[in-house]
Structure 1
Amino acid sequence: MTEPRYDVIAIGNAVVDVIASCDDELIEELGLNRGGMTLVDTDEAKTLYDAMGTAREISGGSAANTLAGASMLGLQCAFIGQVADDQLGEVFTHDMRATGIDFDTAPRAGDPPTGRCLIFVTPDGERTMNTFLGAGQYLPAAALDEELIASAGILYLEGYLWDPEEPRRAMRRAIEVARAAGRKVAFTASESFVIDRHGDDFRSMIEDGVIDILFVNEHELATLTGDADFEAGVAAVSAKVPVLVATKGEAGAIAIAHGERAEVKAQPVDKVVDTTGAGDQFAAGFLSGYAKGEPLERCLARGAVTAAEVISHYGPRPEVDLKALVAEKLGS
């Protein structure tokens, strides 16, 4: 097997986050799923955008956010995702390339426009996301560069994108290509509602040994296993995937890799400003260590540091030199 050209290649939603602060009353008034992620159509997206206060536009998308952090931490990364031939598509493409990520998926002409995620952030820092996938849900298998996929040590897949049929087919093909090339497949469950809709698919992939690295939070784990007991869920899933990473918010995270277990506490944060991207950046930190063969506990610690950085400000991507931050917190 040849040495990988990339450490990680990801397939995910290409979206621009529109983030605004709001009070709890607005969440209730709009009937939003507080703290969760809901898919919305064109009309709903317009209604929610009109209800927002002053907003910031920042390129996002779960897997894209993870790559942004991983690239800042020194990994060679590439991204596959669908934007439209429009202004937000140009913004997203620029932001990915400016972060050092190779992104060459051709933009799609015509409607729908590039996806956007309307994020309402309440005073406690909790984010409520409402995602219009737009062009992202039309990523075809034909857009895959199979040589590119085969050249990456880890293929990282975003659960959010499993919902639309066309990108789901593309991701299934990408898994086949990666496994044929002897590469590892990482999967992030993304959100409990995705598991509600596609849990049979995910459980089947786990049973079939298709997933090498699985990222979940405690709520997703409970939905996946049907068991509210965290440790019981960990035991059930870790027996079937080589590497399980399960986060528990401010209670920290655990990882089990080939029978070895490690745990980490959450890094202290002076003030939680916006939890958008916390799980994405935890995955970035973990993968930045895992891809380089670091001990399991240190991989988790890297994840804790990067997650703490992103929740200390608005937006899903880091705003400081992550390499320097990890060195400061953990030592070089």
Structure 2
Amino acid sequence: MSETRLDVLAIGDAVVDVIATASDDFLIEERLTKGSMQVLDADGAAALYAKMRQARETSGGSAANTMAGVAALGGWAGFVGQVADDQLGEIFAHDISALGVEFLTPAKADGEPTGRCLILVTPDAQRTMNTFRGAAHELSVEALDAEQIRGAAILYLEAYLWRSAGPRGAMEEAMRIAHEAGRKVAFTLSDIACIKPHRAEMIAMLDAGAIDLLFANENEIMELADLPTTDAAIAALQDKVPLIVVTCGSEGAVAVERGRRVSAPIARIGKGVVDTTGAGDLFAAGFLVGQARGKDLAESLRIGAIAAAEVISHFGARPESDLKALIAA
């Protein structure tokens, strides 16, 4: 097997995150379900944006956040995602590259504008996401760089992007290239709303051995297995995937590798929970860096827990403290 150039290469939504605080009453007025993710069209995104309080805008998207975390941890990260040739597309490309993440995907000159995710954070630190997919869901096989895929130890895919046919085809081709090169493929279930419409496809993908590492939270793993408890869901799926990692909120996280189970508690950093945006993304970043660097499951879980704890201790989905120093402490 040839040497790798990147620790992790992700394929995901290339969107600009717009993050603002909101009251519970505002969510009720806008008929938004707290903690959920809904998809907007261009008009809906414009209408909600006009009602939001002062916001902070950064390059975002679940897998992009994870790659920012990988880079912050000292890992070599790359990202594949479609933006348009517009102002937000330029912001996304500059921002993610400035973080140390390799971004080679050419911008599209036609089609939808660059996507954006309107994130409302309530006083209890829950985030409610409202996404206009835009150009992100116009990703195609032609946008892939095969050498970039072959050069990454782990290919990381997000279910948010799996819902559209073009990106799904690109992800399937990327999985083929990665496995032919002897690389591992990781897949995150992303959100419970992504699973039910595509459960049969996802189970078929697991049955085919396309996924080496599956990330989920408790609700997502139960939804995928269509079973009422986390343990039952893991038991039903563990023979289909070499490694399953499930985050369990305040109970920490568990990794199950070929029947061997390892658990880890949550980490506590700073003032506690301020904003849960990005918690799962940064946990995945820590775990992936651990695995890419040959760490065992317990250490990979520990790194993930620290990265997640750091990002929920402040506003926004990107780390602000020195993650490398926190891990070394």
TM class by smaller structure? over 0.9
Q: Counterpart of 2:17 in 1: which secondary structure? A: strand
Deviations 1:237-272 (CA, angstroms, capped at 9, x unpaired): 122111100001122110012332111111125231
Structure 1 residue 97 corresponds to structure 2 residue 63: no
Structure 1 residue 263 corresponds to structure 2 residue 259: no
TM-score by length of 1: 0.97
C-alpha separation between the residues in 1 aligned to 2:250 and 2:16?
27
C-alpha separation between the residues in 2 aligned to 1:317 and 1:260?
32
2:10 is matched with which residue?
Answer: 10
Residues 278 and 311, structure 2, Cα contact 8 Å, conserved in 1: yes
- AA in 1 matched with 2:46: K
Matches within 5 A, 1:17-166: 17-166=17-166
C-alpha separation between the residues in 1 aligned to 2:318 and 2:301?
18
1:312 is matched with which residue?
Answer: 313
C-alpha separation between the residues in 2 aligned to 1:107 and 1:325?
36
- AA in 2 matched with 1:12: G
Q: CA deviation at 1:111?
A: 4.0
300-309 vs 256-265, which moves further: 256-265
C-alpha separation between the residues in 2 aligned to 1:69 and 1:142?
27
Residues 58 and 315, structure 1, Cα contact 8 Å, conserved in 2: no
Please list every run of at least 4 consecutive aligned residues from structure 1 whose deviation after the TM superposition is greater than 3 angstroms: none
1:284 is matched with which residue?
Answer: 285
Residues 278 and 317, structure 2, Cα contact 8 Å, conserved in 1: yes
Q: CA deviation at 1:273?
A: 1.4
C-alpha separation between the residues in 1 aligned to 2:304 and 2:39?
27
Matches within 5 A, 1:201-212: 201-212=201-212
Matches within 5 A, 1:185-204: 185-204=185-204
2:328 is matched with which residue?
Answer: 327
Q: CA deviation at 1:88?
A: 1.2
Percent identity over the alignment is 53
- AA in 2 matched with 1:93: A
- AA in 2 matched with 1:48: L
Unmatched 5+ stretches in structure 2: none
C-alpha separation between the residues in 1 aligned to 2:228 and 2:61?
28
Deviations 1:51-90 (CA, angstroms, capped at 9, x unpaired): 1111111211111110110111121111110011111111
Q: Counterpart of 1:93 in 2: which secondary structure? A: helix
2:247 is matched with which residue?
Answer: 247
Unmatched 5+ stretches in structure 1: none
C-alpha separation between the residues in 1 aligned to 2:228 and 2:125?
25
